Structure 1
Amino acid sequence: MPTETSSNRASKARTSPAQASVSNGTSSSSTKAATNGSEIISPAAATARTIPWIHEGFTKYTEVLYTEYVHGPDAAETYYQGLLHRIKNDRPAMQGGNDKYYKGAAFLHAVRHTTGTPTFRALLHSLNSTFYHQSVSTSQILTFINSFTHHNFTPLFDQYMRTTQWPID
C-alpha cells in the first residue's frame, strides 16, 4: 500500500465533497447529496453502495492472497476451490445474493491467472493508488483493469457477474 505523506494528507484535507464527487466520475451539476436519516450521502457513495461485488469480491480474494502468503500456493488453491464450491448460480451476482462474494473473487482469480501474478499484484497496487479514498463504479474498475493489463476482461466479467453461466477459459 502507498505510504501517505503529510503533503498527501494536506491535499486530501483540501478536497471538498464536490471535488471528490467530480473525481469519482460524477459531474459537479449532480453533486446534490442524499440523506439517510442524519447521514449525508454523496451521489458517488450512494452509487457505490449498489455495487457490492467490488467490496465483497476483492475482500474475498484477498483471503486467497493471504492464505498463499501465510500457508503457500497449495493451501491457497485449496482455499480458492472451496470458494468456488460455494457458488450457487441461482441468479446473476450483480442482482444480489451471496454469489457476489465468490464470483467476484473468481473473476479476480481469472484476471490473475491470465495476466500472471506480478502483473496482477502491480494492478492491485495501482488500483489502490489511483482510487484511494474514492467510491468507484463497475465501469471504472473494468476500464482500469482493461487499460492496465491491455486485455479486454469485460466479456469475462459479464459472463461471471451478469449471468448464471460459467465462462470458458
Structure 2
Amino acid sequence: MEENKEELATIESIDSGAVYTLALKVHVGMSIQVWRYFAGWCDKIQGETIPITDARPNYNLCFTRREPIGVVGLITPWNYPLMMLSWKMAACLAAGNTVVHKPAQVSPLTALKFAELAARVGIPAGVINIVCGTGSQVGQAMCDHPKIRKLGFTGSTEVGAQIMAR
C-alpha cells in the first residue's frame, strides 16, 4: 500500500468522490496505519495458560485458545471504501481468518485494487476474496451462506436490521 499510495488515492477519489489530498493523507494513510497495527498482532494472538490464584491450588485452570472462526463476510458502504475495508479486514486476517468482502456496488475499485496488491505481495489465493454486485443478490447470498461464520456489516439501519433478523 505504501508503494502504491498515489494510485490507491486516485482510485479512492474516483470510487467515492473524495478529494485527492484527503484520500492520500487520510483514506490511504490511515489504512496503512491500520494494517501496520494489526500486523503487529499476528504473532501475539495465541493460546496460553494463565496463572490464577485460589484457596485450593491445583484445582483451577485458566487458559485462552487461539481459534480462528473461519470465513468472515464483510459488507462495506460507498463512503471511505479503503478505510472500511482496512478496519474490518485487517483484524480478521490477523486473527487467522479468511474473508469474503462485498464492497458497495457503486465503489468496488479500491477493494479490487487492494486484492490485486495483496496477491502481488504473496497473500495466498482464497485468503482475501472480493465479490462485487448488489446487496440484494451478493450481500444476501453472503448472509445465507452456511460457510460464512461471521458477518461484518456497515450500511443502513434498515439492512442491518434485516441481517440481524436472520
Superposition TM-score, scaled by structure 1 size? 0.31
Q: Which protein is richer in helix relative to its size?
A: 1
Q: Which protein is richer in strand relative to its size?
A: 2
